[in-house]
Amino acid sequence: MDALNSWVNALDDAITKGNRFVDNEGRACLELLHHTLVLEPKGLSKPLDEMRRFDAWSFPTPDEINRALEQRDRSVGYSVGNRVFAYRGSVDQLNGFVIPLLKKDINSRRAMIVLYDPEQDSRIGERMTPCLALIYFKAHDGKLDVSCYIRSNDLLLGCPLTILQLSSLQEMALRSLRLNPGNIIVHSGSAHVYEDNASVAKEVIDRCRKNL
């Protein structure tokens, strides 16, 4: 299913089927546990385009997302560039491992990027633990799938940004590999919509389904 339809269906599932949960900051959300979102490699910017319609939030453009990713900008909260390209200060996991590995063995099952750092993130009380923990690249049938594991996935405000970053990393890898883009797969421990954003999610769902 294309990216916009898949994302809208996930929003709808959270609103209609999600369990109510209150986090440790007192914010209530509608939560889907162990959720998987499969996105075909077309229209991957459309969820972000939908969210950029709202004046209440200042969402970056796709070019700004790519720039923050490539520049490893730590000041940009949503960007994973620093942990992808300078893990623990120096390790370029994409260009130094994933791409060379797949060029040597296109069928490898070891092509992954780890964003969770136990030394830094496994501290009781740590509040800056990245939501996106793991990215996995798998070649099959002439295509390159990119999947990830997100411990906590805000479907409305965070997921569109994550989709674009995964798509950008997929594109970077494909520059060196004779493959076509495959699916983007997002596995979430907790996929949710915060209750105070539920009306916005419903507006997005209604508008997108009306236009599709």
SS (H, E, C) 47-104: HHHHHCCCCCCCCCCHHHHHHHHHCCCCCCCCCCHHHHHCECCCECCHHHHHHHHHHH
**60 within some domain:** yes
Among the listed residues 19, 14, 158, the one whose alpha carbon sits nearest the alpha carbon of residue 148: 158
**136 within some domain:** yes
Which residue range is the domain that position 74 belongs to? Answer: 33-40+50-152+159-191
**198 within some domain:** no
The CA-CA-CA angle for residues 23, 117, 19, to 5°, reads 25
**82 within some domain:** yes
- From residue 176, alpha-carbon distances to 63, 151, 169 in Å are 21, 30, 12
Q: Give 125's pLDDT tier (boundaries 50, 70, 90).
A: confident
Instruction: Please list the residues that pair with 148 across neighbouring strands.
Output: 135, 186
pLDDT for the residue numbered 29: 97
**204 within some domain:** no
Q: What distance in Å separates the CA atoms of residue 87 and residue 10, rounded to the nearest whole number? A: 31
Q: Give 97's pLDDT tier (boundaries 50, 70, 90).
A: very high
What is the residue whose two structure tokens read 């709808």? 12
Cβ 185 vs Cβ 19: under 8 Å: no
**3 within some domain:** no
Q: 43-87, pLDDT tens digit by residue? A: 999 999 999 999 889 999 999 999 889 887 666 677 899 999 999
Structure tokens at 187: 């596995």
pLDDT for the residue numbered 127: 77
Cβ 189 vs Cβ 150: under 8 Å: yes
Q: What distance in Å separates the CA atoms of residue 139 and residue 55, rounded to the nearest whole number? A: 39
**142 within some domain:** yes
**11 within some domain:** no
- Number of separate domains in the chain: 1
pLDDT at 212 over 90: no
**pLDDT (mean) for 144-163:** 97
pLDDT for the residue numbered 112: 98
pLDDT for the residue numbered 156: 98
Percent of the chain at pLDDT > 70 equals: 98
CATH of the domain at 142: 3.30.572.10
- pTM for the model stands at 0.94
pLDDT for the residue numbered 128: 78
Fill in the DSSP letter of residue 129.
-
